[in-house]
Amino acid sequence: MIVLGVDPGTQFAGYGIMRKEGGRTTVLDYGYLKMNPSLPLVERVGIFHRFFNEKISAFGVTDLAIETPFLGRNTQTFLKLGYLRGILYLLSDTHKLVLHEYSPTQVKQSVTGYGGASKEQVARLISRLLPAMKAQEKYDVTDALAISLCGIWESSRNQLLR
């Protein structure tokens, strides 16, 4: 199982790719895609698609994990994130990936044990769980790694229940 966790954004999109073999989980790649906010949205959506299409192919991704959206204060941001989520759905179908969606509370609960954890708490725990990881200045990356871990752990838990 190779999981790509994505924290989409129109300026920064965090990602984490992890492999689970037997009882061992390995980080294969992580980082963020930075897109120029002065580019038209249509170009950024294309950049987003090409970037994640390449990651899926290069790493042999089998599963895609994302968070369910929540409507914050800005409805325009919510709509733009919907475009990116649509791209992830399309990539999931194109590459025949298993799509996992988790609420932000589920991800935080899975990784920290507390569904109301802050971004700082998630980042701190991710750096403890993955000590080889370089210090990250972007929560987009630690959020994406948390989403990947949640995908791996929840899939493992579901297989045990079958």
Q: Pick the catalytic residue: 21, 43, 63, 67?
A: 67
Q: Mark whether 67 is an active-site residue.
A: yes
Distance between CA 75 and CA 47 in Å, rounded?
23
Pairing mode, strands 98-102 and 12-21: unpaired
Distance between CA 123 and CA 7 in Å, rounded?
13
Q: What is the 3-state secondary structure (H, E, C) of 117-158?
A: CCHHHHHHHHHHHCCCCCCCCCHHHHHHHHHHHHHHHHHHHH
Q: Pick the catalytic residue: 101, 120, 140, 143?
A: 140
Closest C-alpha to 13, from 48, 39, 54:
48
Active site residues: 7, 67, 140
